[in-house]
């Protein structure tokens, strides 16, 4: 409980807040261009997306907490693995092309922590177990991919001190939005294949900084907004069923897709 406020938000309350952010993000993603209501500017038209970025850090934090506090790690993994399969199904059907579920990412992150615990005799080398799990997340194209696995593992490694947990979460989130994703976008979309790197980079960088950099800065700001909320975490579980959040993920996706289908079929 070190570094946590005695009076604050319970885990359940924070997960409800994260679930709200997630619904805003997914609703916006399916009902584009709903976010265009925010403003005419291409940057600010992603307002709902930026708000939704706060969901992942909160859920990632509590997956690390789950790994730390569970009394039956194999059962915890079994539960995550089952819902990883369930939640991935919509992305093979109605949500094809929309990315992947976050639950497989959290399952692989928890599996990495479990394997590292089982290999305690290897010392620090046991954390190499994170690498194949991160690669699997990348190969599966699950949401947040390998960086999601590393984030959960890093928060777990931060130990029991709440301040250190939030610091590690903030570092991983900043790296994701200010280093990894911009570099990936720059290489993928802005540097023509077959051209010399430095001249192509010099030509692409001004436009990239003018258009994509604000997007990633605002995305990082939205995600880092989760940290003040998590700073109010009291350490208490709170009232509510743990199963709610497992079922809520696939259920809300199906509801959003169903509404989208009805609107696009009968109201357009």
pLDDT surpasses 50 at 63: yes
Q: Is residue 117 part of a domain?
A: yes
What is the distance between the alpha carbons of residues 241 and 132, in angstroms, rounded to a whole number?
32
The highest-confidence range among 55-64, 92-101, 235-244, by mean pLDDT, is 55-64
Amino acid 49: pLDDT = 85
Evaluate whether residue 156 is within a structural domain. Answer: yes
Q: Which residue has the higher pLDDT, 155 or 258?
A: 155
What's the CA angle centered on 170, arms 168 and 174, to 5 degrees? 120
- Tell me what pLDDT residue 39 has: 41
Which domain covers residue 151, as residue numbers?
11-185+196-266
- Three-state DSSP state, 159: coil
Contact 151, 172 (CB under 8 A): yes
3-class DSSP state of 205? helix
Above 60 in pLDDT, residue 95?
no
Count of domains for the chain: 1
Residue 234 falls inside a structural domain: yes
In this predicted structure, the answer to whether residue 180 has a pLDDT above a threshold of 70 is: yes
**What was the pLDDT predicted at 45?**
57
Average pLDDT, the chain: 83
What phi and psi, each to the nearest 5 degrees, are found at residue 9? -95, 140
More confident residue, 6 or 10: 10
DSSP 8-state code for residue 233 = B
Residue 53 counted as domain residue: yes
Average pLDDT over residues 86-96: 66
Of 50-54, 91-95, 153-157, 261-265, where does the model show the most confidence? 153-157
Do the beta carbons of residue 166 and residue 154 sit within 8 Å? Answer: no
Task: State what percent of residues in the chain have pLDDT above 70.
Answer: 80
* Model pTM score: 0.85
Q: Let me know if residue 5 belongs to a domain.
A: no
**Residue 190 placed within a domain:** no
Q: Is residue 4 part of a domain?
A: no
Q: Which of 115-119, 126-130, 192-196 is predicted least confidently?
A: 192-196
CB neighbourhood size of 147 (10 A): 20
Mean pLDDT of 205-231: 88
**Any alpha helices (H) in 34-129, and if so which ranges?**
47-52, 55-69, 73-88, 103-118
Residue 36 pLDDT class (50, 70, 90 cuts)? very low
Report yes or no on 3 lying in a domain: no
């Amino acid at each position: 409980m070190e570094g946590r406020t005695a009076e604050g938000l319970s885990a359940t309350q924070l997960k409800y807040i994260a679930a709200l952010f997630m619904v805003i993000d997914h609703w916006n993603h399916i009902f584009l261009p709903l976010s265009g209501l925010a403003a005419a500017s291409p940057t600010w038209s992603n307002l709902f997306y930026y708000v939704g970025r706060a969901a992942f850090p909160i859920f990632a934090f509590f997956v690390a907490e789950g790994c730390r506090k569970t009394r039956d790690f194999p059962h915890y993994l079994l539960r995550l693995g089952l819902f990883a399969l369930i939640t991935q199904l919509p992305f093979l059907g109605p949500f094809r092309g929309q990315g992947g579920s976050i639950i497989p990412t959290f399952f692989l992150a928890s599996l990495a922590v479990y394997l590292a615990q089982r290999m305690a005799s290897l010392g620090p080398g046991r954390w190499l177990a994170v690498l194949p799990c991160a690669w699997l997340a990348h190969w599966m194209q699950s949401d947040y991919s390998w960086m999601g696995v590393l984030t959960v593992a890093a928060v777990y490694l931060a130990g029991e001190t709440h301040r250190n947990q939030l610091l590690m979460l903030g570092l991983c989130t900043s790296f994701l939005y200010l280093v990894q994703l911009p570099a990936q976008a720059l290489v993928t979309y802005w540097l023509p294949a077959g051209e010399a790197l430095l001249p192509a980079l010099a030509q692409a960088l001004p436009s990239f900084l003018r258009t994509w950099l604000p997007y990633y800065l605002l995305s990082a700001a939205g995600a880092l907004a989760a940290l003040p909320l998590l700073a109010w975490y009291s350490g208490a579980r709170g009232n509510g069923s743990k199963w709610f959040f497992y079922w809520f993920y696939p259920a809300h996706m199906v509801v959003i897709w169903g509404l989208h289908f009805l609107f696009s079929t009968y109201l357009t």
